[in-house]
Amino acid sequence: MLRFMPVGDSMTIGSSGEHTWRYRMWRHLCATYGGPFTLSGPRETLYDKATDSAASYAYADPDFPRGHLAGWGEGWLHMAPLIGEAVRTSRADILLVSLGLIDLGFYTNAEQTAENARAFAAEARAANPRIAMVWLPVIPNIRAADDAPFAAQVARFNELLAKTAADLDEPGSPILLASVPEAWDIDTDTYDGTHPNANGEHRLASAFAEAMHQGWGLGGEYAG
């Protein structure tokens, strides 16, 4: 059984009534991966905006393995101390990681955020020395569109993340850097300039799927 763990912030946990890109990934793997697999992680809920808590199970389609390690307002800074225990308890084999926007927006600069990504990798490998990871850079968002210094920090972090992934990549514990979805449009791929709508969910799932298909021959091309 191959176990994938989605790790991320509000774009990964999703909120009440959404499918989430995790669901889109599950559907993709059901169609293209030939062996047994599941999505794993210590959390299963969505974020509930009405109660400002991660307490909702109101998925648009709840009939899929909902395990994840994602949280509204959480970043590399928050996940690095949690990932080791999450990998151990969930027996994860592959981490699908989308983090960084929250860090850069509220907590750390580009260099500090890259160091937290490095700490995250170390903790994950301490729990499973053969863990594989796919990292997604910070995608275009409304704050970066309106705030030039923040956009510069995003660009700098994405550059450092690519260098960190290349530096830490090992044959026994590979790290892939996914590509930012081509021509990501905050008007048509999100509902508020940041969080993915249905189209954006597919595009985020496709970014991870294409990285694994091209880099590892895992699964097939993303068909939506």
Q: What is the mean pLDDT of residues 145-161?
A: 98
Q: What is the mean pLDDT of residues 124-129?
A: 98
Rounded Cα gap, residues 61 and 82, in angstroms: 28
Q: Which domains does the chain have, with CATH numbers?
A: 2-216 (3.40.50.1110)
Concatenate the DSSP letters of all residues of 172-221 into one string: TB-EEEPPPPTT--TTTSBSSSSSB-HHHHHHHHHHHHHHHHHHH--S--
Give the per-residue pLDDT at 219: 96
Tally Cβ neighbours within 10 Å of residue 52: 9
Render pLDDT for 169-198 as a digit per residue (tens, 0 to 9).
999 999 999 999 989 999 999 999 999 999
Rounded Cα gap, residues 179 and 71, in angstroms: 22
Render pLDDT for 20-37 as a digit per residue (tens, 0 to 9).
999 999 999 999 999 999
